[in-house]
Every structure is written in structure tokens, then in C-alpha cells.
């Protein structure tokens, strides 16, 4: 007589690949490395008999899990359960055992409707093409502003475009390989989009910071524009890591934030020790049309006074450097 199937218990690796599957014909069900278990796992971090799974007699819709003789325990929704613990297993929620995830499908659970086959991602492809076009346009504009004449600009175009494509391709390719190793999927074009968005964001931050410095006479914006760009790079790094390890988003966010919180003050401190200032930039290096100027013009007398004070500080700095060299 064929026993009715009460459910199905499955095991997956960290990439989502199916490792083992066992039909449930009776309760309770055991999970572990032992051959006498109903679901046998080939995971060195799983005990011979790791879990016992049962359905409560007074509440047939409730699945209960008991953690048996194991040192590593089990994890459900980021909560760890050790040896001897009992807990309810919500339908559709995976349990982590060692390096393995197990899932439960009950026979009396409604099956979702059939999904249509995926179509070509025109929207994603269009977004990628637009981002690449914007990055190319930004690169060509920058080359045009730096070129002395039209012939030099035309000669520099092939090299600039090849360098840009090589940088984006290599950077995205390395992240795609890491994504394949740790996440099971390549996702090359996703990393291309992240890289292009980061490059455009850096250009926008650089432009806005220097424009604000010019328009409002706030030199700090231009001096510390690199700090803002570091924040953009940190966001791009988090996006790459989150694409590779989507289940670790919270931990990755805290890690990147901690690196920025420690790295930026350390970098500024090193600048101060080496140059006695927090930035290498001594003055605004970007000029814009005068019509964008918002701050009032500085009177000539005030400008000369500030220049004279700057001159005295520079002369004092030169004397100190000369005395230091004589002492050596």
C-alpha cells in the first residue's frame, strides 16, 4: 500500500542549488548526516541527527522543530537555537544548518500559480545602455574641456574611449567573477550598471561641489570634494557587495559604514600631519561663468589684505622648513 505524501523536505546550498530531497510519509522527520535520518545531508557542520521535525497533534497546521545533539544548532530568521531548543517552523521559511538551508513544503499548502517564462529584459538593457552612453558623454566632455585644440581632441578620442571601456569591463568583470564564486550568479551587467552609476555620481558630486564653492565663495566645498566622492565610492562598494551577497545586506552596510567612519578621519589626520592642513587643495581650481556667481564681489582692499596675510604665512612656513633642513 502506498503511503500518502504529507510533504516534501529539501536541502539547498548557499547558492540555492538543490542538494537533497525527501518525501514525508510520516511524522516525525529527522534531519542529519546519519544514514538513518529521513533527510541525509553531506555537510560536515551538521550533526549525525541534527533535527527532529513533527506536527503537533492539537494543532495540525503547526510544525515544531527540536534541536538534537549538535554543537552548531540551527538558525531561523536570524535567531539561533541551540541544543534542546524547540520552536515553531513557519511555512515557507528556510532553516540554516551549518552550510545548508532546508525548506519544507506541506501537501496541504496552496500552490502558487504558474509563472510566465521570463522575457528579454528590455528595460534593464535600456537602463544599461543609457548609463553607458552618459558615462561616454561625460568622458568625451571632459576630454574636450582639457584639450587645447580640435586636432588634439580628435586624436585623444580613441584612447579615451578604449581606456573607459577597459576600466569598466575589467572592474565589472572582477566583481562578476566574485559574484559567481560567492553568489552562484555572474550578473556582469548589473555590476556594469553599478560602476556606471558610481562614475556619473562622482562627476556630479565633483561638479556640484566646485560650483557651490565658486558661486557662494565656500572654498571648503572644493577642498573637501574628495571626501564626498569617497562616500559615493562607499555606496558603490556596498551595491557591489549586496549584489554578490544579498542575504548579508545589513552586515555589509554596517561594515562599509565602519570602514568609512574609520578611514575618512584617518585620511584627514594624515593630511594634517603631512601638510598642516586637512586638504591638499590650496585654492579653487575650477572657474565657471561669472553669471553663476552669487556671493558679492570682494573689495580690492580686502583682497590685498588677505593676500598679504597669506604671504606672511607662506614666508613663515618657508623659514620653518629652512630651519628644519639646517638642523638635519
In a domain? residue 308 = no
Q: Are residues 151 and 209 in the same domain?
A: yes
123/131 Cα distance (integer angstroms): 12
Under the banding of pLDDT at 50, 70 and 90, the label for residue 2 is low
pLDDT band at 58 (very low <50, low <70, confident <90, very high): low
Q: pLDDT tens digits, residue range 145-156?
A: 777 788 888 888
Distance CA 306, CA 37 (A): 83
Q: What share of the chain is helix, strand, coil (3-state, %, to 5)?
A: 55, 15, 30
**pLDDT class for 304, splitting at 50, 70, 90?**
confident
pLDDT given at position 217: 81
- Is 21 inside any structural domain? yes
Which of 62, 81, 106 is the endpoint of a domain?
106
Q: What is residue 106's predicted lDDT score, i.e. its pLDDT?
A: 86
- Please state, in angstroms and rounded to a whole number, the distance separating the CA atoms of residues 261 and 270: 15
Mean pLDDT (the chain, rounded): 86
Residue 300: inside a domain, yes or no? no
- Which residue, of 106, 132, 150, is where some domain finishes? 106
**Per residue in 253-294, pLDDT tens?**
999 999 999 998 888 888 888 877 777 776 677 777 878 888
| pLDDT of the residue at 191 | 95
Determine, yes or no, domain membership for 234. yes
Domain shared by 208 and 99, yes or no = no
> pTM for this one?
0.67
Residues 199 and 283 in one domain: yes
Listed residues 76, 106, 136: the one ending a domain: 106
310 domain residue, yes or no:
no
Q: What is the dihedral of CA 261, 265, 270, 272, to 10 degrees?
A: 170
pLDDT in tens, 104-136: 988 887 788 888 888 888 889 999 999 999 999
| 193, part of any domain | yes
Number of structural domains the chain divides into: 2
Q: 264 and 156, same structural domain?
A: yes
Asked whether 118 and 29 are in contact (CB, 8 A), the reply is: no
Same domain membership, residue 101 and residue 141: no
Q: In what order do the strands lie in the sheet with 86-88?
A: 39-40, 29-32, 51-55, 63-67, 86-88
Same domain? 126 vs 82: no
Are 143 and 235 members of one domain? yes
Separation of alpha carbons 46 and 27, rounded Å: 21
Q: Are 77 and 101 in contact (CB under 8 A)?
A: no
Whether 276 and 142 share a structural domain: yes
Distance from chain centroid for Cα 51: 35
Same domain, 133 and 273: yes
Q: What is the pLDDT of residue 324?
A: 62
Flag whether 324 is in a domain.
no
Residue 261 domain boundaries: 122-290
pLDDT band for 197, please (50, 70, 90 cuts).
Answer: very high
Residue 76 and residue 162 in one domain = no
- Report yes or no on 159 lying in a domain: yes
Are 73 and 183 part of one and the same domain? no
Asked if 89 and 138 sit in the same domain, the reply is no
* % the chain with pLDDT above 70: 94
Query: The domain spanning residue 53 has which CATH number?
Result: 2.60.200.20
The confidence score (pLDDT) of residue 52 equals 95
**Band of pLDDT at residue 325, cut at 50, 70 and 90:** low
Amino acid at each position: 500500500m502506498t503511503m500518502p505524501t504529507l510533504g516534501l523536505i529539501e536541502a539547498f546550498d548557499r547558492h540555492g542549488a538543490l542538494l537533497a530531497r525527501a518525501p514525508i510519509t510520516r511524522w516525525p522527520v529527522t534531519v542529519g548526516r546519519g544514514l538513518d535520518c529521513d533527510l541525509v545531508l553531506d555537510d560536515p557542520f551538521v550533526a549525525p541527527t541534527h533535527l527532529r521535525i513533527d506536527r503537533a497533534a492539537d494543532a495540525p497546521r503547526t510544525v515544531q522543530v527540536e534541536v538534537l545533539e549538535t554543537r552548531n544548532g540551527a538558525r531561523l530568521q536570524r535567531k539561533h537555537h541551540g541544543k534542546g531548543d524547540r520552536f515553531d517552523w513557519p511555512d515557507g521559511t528556510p532553516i540554516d544548518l551549518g552550510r545548508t538551508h532546508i525548506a519544507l513544503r506541506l501537501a496541504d499548502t496552496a500552490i502558487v500559480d504558474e509563472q510566465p517564462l521570463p522575457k528579454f529584459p528590455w528595460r534593464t538593457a535600456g537602463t544599461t545602455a543609457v548609463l553607458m552612453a552618459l558615462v561616454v558623454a561625460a568622458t568625451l566632455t571632459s576630454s574636450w574641456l582639457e584639450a587645447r585644440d580640435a586636432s588634439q581632441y580628435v586624436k585623444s578620442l580613441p584612447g579615451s574611449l578604449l581606456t573607459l571601456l577597459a576600466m569598466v569591463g575589467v572592474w565589472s568583470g572582477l566583481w562578476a567573477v566574485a559574484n559567481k564564486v560567492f553568489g552562484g550568479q555572474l550578473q556582469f551587467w548589473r555590476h556594469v550598471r553599478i560602476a556606471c552609476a558610481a562614475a556619473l555620481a562622482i562627476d556630479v558630486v565633483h561638479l556640484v561641489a566646485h560650483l557651490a564653492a565658486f558661486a557662494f565663495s565656500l572654498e571648503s566645498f572644493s577642498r573637501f570634494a574628495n571626501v564626498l566622492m569617497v562616500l559615493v565610492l562607499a555606496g558603490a562598494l556596498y551595491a557591489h557587495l549586496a549584489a554578490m551577497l544579498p542575504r548579508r545586506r545589513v552586515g555589509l552596510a554596517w561594515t562599509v559604514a565602519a570602514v568609512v567612519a574609520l578611514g575618512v578621519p584617518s585620511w584627514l589626520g594624515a593630511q594634517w600631519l603631512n601638510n598642516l592642513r586637512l586638504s591638499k587643495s590650496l585654492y579653487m581650481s575650477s572657474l565657471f561663468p561669472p553669471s553663476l556667481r552669487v556671493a558679492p564681489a570682494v573689495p580690492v582692499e580686502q583682497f590685498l589684505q588677505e593676500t598679504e596675510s597669506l604671504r606672511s604665512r607662506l614666508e613663515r612656513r618657508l623659514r620653518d622648513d629652512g630651519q628644519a633642513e639646517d638642523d638635519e
